Amino acid sequence: QVQLVESGGGLVQAGGSLRLSCEASGDIFRVTHMGWYRQTPGEQRELVARWSSDIATKYADSVKGRFTISRDNVKNAVDLQMNNLKPDDTAVYYCYLGIGTYSGMRDYWGQGTQVTVSS
């Protein structure tokens, strides 16, 4: 059984910073990709940043130069450093990791963490 736990969301003023963290636990053989999506009410989930073992790291155009995705292979964790936050960054942020276990490969998702940026 694999579980993902997110942390780090909250309320911040425009121009401020937050760091989101997501750590996976369980019987994990390997992690092949990971990343962050975000979603606002009534909208589709939007890719923010992703890392994969076989393709280049990708960022949404709206966050390039402000957000940085990083990973900790020992902890099976992925972080998202968010700088110079804007009100448009307000959303629920979800992490995901592509994890291999005894049962095979699949994507696992975090529970979501609210980020609110005030103007």
The predicted structure's pLDDT at residue 55: 86
pLDDT attached to residue 13:
98
Mark 78-96 as b/e (b = at least 16 C-beta within 10 Å).
Answer: bbbbbeebeeebbbbbbbb
Mean pLDDT by 10 residues, the chain (119 residues): 94 98 94 96 96 91 97 93 98 96 93 97
pLDDT of the residue at 53: 85
Q: What is the pLDDT of residue 35?
A: 97
Bridge partners, 60 (sequence order): none
